[in-house]
Structure 1
Amino acid sequence: MTRIQVTVTKEAVIKPNVWPLSSPEMTCWGQPSVFRCWSERGTDVQYTWYRVGHPNNIVLHQSTDLYLHCSNITEDSQLFCSAFNDVSSQSSEFVSLQLLQSADKDCVYLISSNSHGLVYHCGMSVFVGFSPQL
């Protein structure tokens, strides 16, 4: 018999990517959109979505996916997700929301993210997309 010692360590998370699971042009008609946050590395990773606030950021949802709809978009804002475990924590790039028309008038909102070149303008048929990295 031979004695073997095994040491298990958790891997630190890396900066998470954020991408839409639904078409951004649907926001022009007030339709819901879904964003996913994912870190390519890390053990036992947990995710939390935040809205930038002053003096503190506001927790929106604790999950990889964030569901946006006219009922929960009340003002222009910047969102980001945090990927974390017992070893480290990293935050994604910002996703910007711009409310063009409030929910009481058939909501219209724009979503953009500089990190991935995601921009869709409702007045023009222009969509500059990106490919998610898993």
Structure 2
Amino acid sequence: MKTLCLLFLLHASLQLQCDKKKITAYIGGEFILICKYANEFLYSKKYWCRGDTRNACEILMDSESKNKHRSLIVDAGRKGLFVKVTNLQFDDSGVYWVGIDKIFADIMTSVTVVITDVPVSKPRLWPLSSLADRSTCWGKSVTVRCGSKRGTGIRYVWYLEDLLLCHSSDLSLDCSSVEKDNDYYCVASNDISSEKSDLISVEVLMPADDSCIYVVKIQGQPIYDCADRMRTTTVQPTPLQTCQATKNIRSDTRNQSLQLNKTDHSLFFSRTWSGLPLWYSLLRWSYFASLLVILCIILKCTKTRTEKYAKRRKKVRCRQNRHLPQ
């Protein structure tokens, strides 16, 4: 019976063959499936249906239908059968069938469709106000935006070197946030990919709570300096100013200490490996190792049972041979 079923399936597969058994496409996109079939079915109706099994398959479109649908099936005769699906959505993922209407039993072949996010492209950085105006030379704030031209479901994260700053597409720089020379970068990611931007270099020429002087350097943006501003700026501290600066320094030191403590506490969660959090990667590999151990135990138990069963059968045969008449 099994042999007949295999022969039937082989015969059916020769009568209808498609160029793909699995299709991976992006959300909002489209795909085209090309199938060839035997000449005896040139005038038979062909259809495109969805269902986990061939017996529970819901027909979405057939070659004789004129209705407009995101699914389109075109029977080009000896050139083949073409199935096209457009405007793909996540819920379009599943098992589909290409079928040929036939008396008693249709000829059918299955195709698995997987819809994913569009991979993100390398994010680009640009200031929301022109750097050519040199506003940072007068201590004014600058907002830098991170954006990818391609990708769906994108998440943006800003880093100060390897320290996580914020989950946002915009980074705001001002006198209170830039205290020393640093490099910043942005990471754009979704469920299937992640990309890192170029670096933003911030050079602090004169730190202060306000009226600081700093330079922002972004690739592709105008290069400038604040040399003339530094020459015309003279610092004449008074006892009140010196006290205020000391107070600010202590406050900043305390804030930095708190920030370092928080960083050490959450280091395990903020570090990433291959675009994934370190704790998640360790959990995944631990789970994989556990599965391997369980599999080895099952195989060993199965082998032991098989050996015991073989020994029992051997003993039974020996006993039977003893009782046989000579």
Q: TM-score, normalised by structure 2?
A: 0.35
Structure 1's consecutive aligned runs of 4 or more residues displaced over 3 angstroms after TM superposition are: none
Report what 2:124 is aligned to: 17
Report what 1:132 is aligned to: none
C-alpha distance after superposition, 1:2-36 (max 9, x if no partner): 33683332111010000010232110000000000
Root-mean-square deviation (CA, aligned residues, Å) is 2.1
C-alpha distance after superposition, 1:45-93 (max 9, x if no partner): 00011111xxxx0112211111110001111001110000101110000
| Structure with higher RCO (Cα < 8 A, 6+ apart) | 1
For the pair 1:101 / 2:216, whether they are aligned, the reply is: no
For the pair 1:118 / 2:118, whether they are aligned, the reply is: no
Report what 1:2 is aligned to: 59
Q: 1:61 aligns with which of 140, 146, 166?
A: 166
Between the aligned partners of 1:117 and 1:66, the Cα distance in structure 2 is 16
Q: What secondary structure sits across from 2:227 in the alignment?
A: coil
* Partners of 2:126 and 2:221 within 8 A in 1: no
Instruction: List aligned pairs for 1:30-109, cutoff 5 A.
Output: 30-52=139-161, 57-104=162-209, 106-109=211-214
Report what 1:127 is aligned to: none
User: What letter is aligned with 1:79?
Assistant: Y
Between the aligned partners of 2:139 and 2:166, the Cα distance in structure 1 is 21
Between the aligned partners of 1:34 and 1:70, the Cα distance in structure 2 is 13
User: What letter is aligned with 2:59?
Assistant: T
From the two aligned structures, give the one with the greater helix fraction: 2
From the two aligned structures, give the one with the greater strand fraction: 1
Q: CA deviation at 1:123?
A: 2.4
User: What letter is aligned with 2:172?
Assistant: Y
Q: What secondary structure sits across from 2:204 in the alignment?
A: strand
Q: CA deviation at 1:105?
A: 7.2
User: What letter is aligned with 1:39?
Assistant: S
Between the aligned partners of 1:104 and 1:45, the Cα distance in structure 2 is 34
Say how many residue pairs are matched. Answer: 120
C-alpha distance after superposition, 1:102-133 (max 9, x if no partner): 115731000112x3143221226xxxxxxxxx
User: What letter is aligned with 1:48?
Assistant: V
Report what 2:294 is aligned to: none
User: What letter is aligned with 2:125?
Assistant: V
Structure whose alpha-carbon radius of gyration is higher: 2
Between the aligned partners of 2:190 and 2:202, the Cα distance in structure 1 is 28
User: What letter is aligned with 1:27?
Assistant: T
Report what 1:129 is aligned to: none
